């Protein structure tokens, strides 16, 4: 088992732990492993509907499907993890990562969302910077990758503040299936064609993050290869 997968397994054994604690002005931000409680399911259901145009796949959403997604695609998936963001004990969003690339020693950031009713400016930039720094240190990664729609300018601006760089883009089109629609890469794309949308391909290395990492107070749980939680 790789170091990456071993540490993901450790995290998921510690279901109730405060995995990251951040001091932000007079606020306390805590990241805990996602759960299937009613308020967590309701939050993720609302966020998924709110930002449905920013996901590669769209489908008929229900709270039951959201709960199944948490169980089957996150908690029971050895490749992925998702944390709920608590602001002063209130759940306001989520952030996660997965899909370990052994060749490049990298993983992909995903599912970063905030409840729009939370009006504290800059909070997700702080959460992302700390989370990326934790990913580099805890999983000993060489780089972190990401994909987002090129028209998602607001999120791209947050990423740039953290030190991400754009390394390419992919032309995509929406394909329909029996139970969903999915944005997929256009194969054999010609520059003379018009793509419906594009995916931006982004990446970050720790040295670029640290150039943008002002002093942020945080602490995280430490696990070692011999831990049995």
pLDDT at position 223 over 70: no
pLDDT given for residue 189 in this prediction:
82
pLDDT given for residue 227 in this prediction:
41
pLDDT at position 225 over 90: no
pLDDT given for residue 224 in this prediction:
43
Please name which of 203, 202, 197, 201 lies closest in space to residue 54, comparing C-alpha atoms. Answer: 197
User: Is the distance from CB of 96 to CB of 80 less than 8 angstroms?
Assistant: yes
Q: Decide if 228 is inside a domain.
A: no
CATH code of the domain containing 26: 3.40.630.30
Show the domain range for 121: 3-216
> With pLDDT > 90 as the criterion, what percentage of the chain qualifies?
84
Q: Decide if 20 is inside a domain.
A: yes
Q: Decide if 188 is inside a domain.
A: yes
| Measured CA distances, 228 to 12, 55, 87, 138, 143 (Å) | 11, 36, 29, 17, 28
pLDDT at position 1 over 90: no
Q: Decide if 25 is inside a domain.
A: yes
Beta strands in 105-142 (DSSP E): 106-114
pLDDT given for residue 213 in this prediction:
76
Q: Decide if 55 is inside a domain.
A: yes
Q: Decide if 171 is inside a domain.
A: yes
Would you call 26 helix, strand, or coil by DSSP? Answer: coil
Count: domains in the chain: 1
Q: Decide if 22 is inside a domain.
A: yes
pLDDT given for residue 217 in this prediction:
76
Q: What is the pLDDT of residues 64-81, one digit of tens each?
A: 999 999 999 999 999 999
Q: What is the pLDDT of residues 12-66, one digit of tens each?
A: 999 889 999 999 989 999 999 999 999 999 999 999 999 999 999 999 999 999 9
User: Is the distance from CB of 80 to CB of 89 less than 8 angstroms?
Assistant: no
More confident residue, 214 or 76: 76
Least-confidence region, from 85-99, 158-172, 184-198: 184-198
pLDDT given for residue 228 in this prediction:
35
pLDDT at position 216 over 70: yes
């Amino acid at each position: 088992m790789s170091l990456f997968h071993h540490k993901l397994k450790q995290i998921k054994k510690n279901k109730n732990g405060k995995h990251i604690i951040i001091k932000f002005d007079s606020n306390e931000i805590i990241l805990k492993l996602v759960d299937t409680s009613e308020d967590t399911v309701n939050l993720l259901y609302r966020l998924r509907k709110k930002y449905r145009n920013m996901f590669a796949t769209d489908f008929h959403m229900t709270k039951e499907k959201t709960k199944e997604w948490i169980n089957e695609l996150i908690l029971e998936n050895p490749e992925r993890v998702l944390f709920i963001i608590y602001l002063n004990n209130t759940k306001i969003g989520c952030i996660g990562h997965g899909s370990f690339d052994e060749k490049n020693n990298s993983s992909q950031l995903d599912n970063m969302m905030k409840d729009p009713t939370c009006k504290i400016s800059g909070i997700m930039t702080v959460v992302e910077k700390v989370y990326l720094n934790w990913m580099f240190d805890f999983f000993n990664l060489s780089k972190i990758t990401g994909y987002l729609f090129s028209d998602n300018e607001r999120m791209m601006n947050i990423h740039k503040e953290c030190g991400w760089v754009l390394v390419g883009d992919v032309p995509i089109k929406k394909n329909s299936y029996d139970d969903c629609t999915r944005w997929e890469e256009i194969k054999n794309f010609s520059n003379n064609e018009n793509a419906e949308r594009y995916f931006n391909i982004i990446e970050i290395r720790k040295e670029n993050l640290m150039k943008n990492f002002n002093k942020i107070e945080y602490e995280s749980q430490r696990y070692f290869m011999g831990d049995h939680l």
